[in-house]
Amino acid sequence: MSSIDMCAPENTGRQPKLIERAGVGRLIAALQQQGYRVVGPTVRDEAIIYDELASDADLPAGWTDDQQAGAYRLKRRRDQALFRYTCGPHSWKKYLHPPQATLWRAEREGGLFRILPETPRAERLALLGVRACELRALAIQEQVFAMAAHADAGYGVRLRQAFVVAVNCGQAGGTCFCVSMNSGPRARKGFDLALTEVVHAKRHYFVVEIGSERGAAILAALETRDATAEEIAAAEKTVNDAARHMGRTLDTTEIQALLYRNHEHPRWEQTGERCLSCANCTLACPTCFCSTIDDTTDLAGQRAERTRRWDSCFTADFSYIHGGSVRQSVKARYRQWLTHKLASWIEQFGSSGCVGCGRCITWCPVGIDLTEEVRAIRATKYYREPVHGDTGTRSV
């Protein structure tokens, strides 16, 4: 299957609609009228981040970004496109799996403690501008949190209530590789509506695919018409262009065997020397789900509180068990991250933990690039023979 074929839309059986540029503002207003808090892309602090949108005036019209390993630059565009940028520093996990959350509080009562459970906020969110790779990341985190034996009820509720407006990518960033991970650039499922933006010199419009009844209902409240064959073709072309311009590639052939067998590859040591164990990669990654628990009390010892906070396999505390941290070296931490994302995740959850969004590459302060790491390990084929009793390492 060529990358272009992979961009073909899933047949939802519904006729794609067309909205003009002004329709985006109406879509936001319609969602707000339905009681949704609309969150999406906006320019802040030299980047395109996700935050609450009051109206379409908050969207990053005419902005884009340039991304390389360890570098992100906000840039002006020559047109007024709303969504011609690629994934930024934020991901939707900040809403669905918040960085910090109180799990419960307790109060001393007589000689005992009374536990006061926290009720998750029942806020209805509309996520505007969700990319294909991000839809895949939401599905992965749903599996981790909501479908596990010990489900996180809050996550499931937040995700189910969220109205998802996907946006098909019209350009790929310097660190994107969703095509390699088979997760983009076209949104295939998991959305209520999916927009494809077309910006021509004289016309600026959006082809809208409907993914759910809820999506159809919102769209019915707007001025739309059926998209013409030419408009649909123009939209297709932008997504195909994005697919052809991936900044990175990752060869996933037999990736589990490759990484497991190369557990003692010298590359880990070398990368461990470059890595800061700062955890930025894991915290920027839309699928990383790890957190830790903090238990605190007030001064008087009358109240206690348990909070959950994002953590990462790059911190020493993360693997702390009685007697010390399991992963003392930065090398071991980097190896854990890469191996979990690309290999053991498959055993654990049945899919890769990487959707190819490129955030870990861009937001690593020293530009360590996981696609480069895999390439280096593959190229040198240095591995432990999987033969019983053979523990030696050799180069082949």
Question: Applying CB under 6 A, which residues contact ligand SF4?
Answer: 275-282, 284-290, 312-314, 337, 340-341, 354-360, 364-366, 368
Please answer whether residues 362 and 71 qualify as being in contact, where contact means their C-beta atoms are separated by less than 8 angstroms.
yes
The listed partner (ligand SF4, another protein, none) that binds 357, CB under 5 to 8 Å by sort, is ligand SF4
Nearer to another protein, 109 or 213 (CB): 109
Q: Under DSSP, is residue 166 helix (H, G, I), strand (E, B) or coil? A: strand
For residue 375, the number of C-alpha atoms closer than 13 Å in the C-beta half-sphere is 8
Task: Look up residue 288 and give its two tokens.
Answer: 């990383």
Tokens 């609309």 locate to: 38
Question: Residue 353, interface with another protein (CB under 8 A)?
Answer: no
Residue 13 neighbours by CB distance under 10 Å = 6
Q: Which amino acid is at 379?
A: A
Please answer whether residues 259 and 343 qualify as being in contact, where contact means their C-beta atoms are separated by less than 8 angstroms.
yes
State the Cα–Cα distance between residues 247 and 179, nearest whole angstrom: 10
Rounded least distance, CB 154 to another protein, Å: 18
Please answer whether residues 34 and 221 qualify as being in contact, where contact means their C-beta atoms are separated by less than 8 angstroms.
no
Nearer to another protein, 15 or 329 (CB): 329
Rounded least distance, CB 208 to ligand SF4, Å: 27
State the Cα–Cα distance between residues 19 and 41, nearest whole angstrom: 19
> Where in 67-96 is the site for another protein (CB under 8 A)?
70-74, 89-90, 94
Task: Look up residue 305 and give its two tokens.
Answer: 């509180």
Question: Residue 294, interface with another protein (CB under 8 A)?
Answer: yes
Rounded least distance, CB 143 to another protein, Å: 23
Nearer to ligand SF4, 164 or 288 (CB): 288
Rounded least distance, CB 38 to ligand SF4, Å: 24
Distance from the Cα of residue 6 to its chain's centroid: 20
Rounded least distance, CB 259 to another protein, Å: 23
Work out the burial of residue 128: count CB atoms within 10 Å of its CB; fewer than 13 is exposed, 13-18 middle, 19 or more buried. buried
The listed partner (another protein, ligand SF4, none) that binds 187, CB under 5 to 8 Å by sort, is none
Nearer to ligand SF4, 23 or 129 (CB): 129
- Quick one: which of 121, 297, 381, 390 contacts another protein (CB under 8 A)? 297
Question: Residue 273, interface with another protein (CB under 8 A)?
Answer: yes
- Quick one: which of 33, 117, 366, 381 contacts another protein (CB under 8 A)? 366
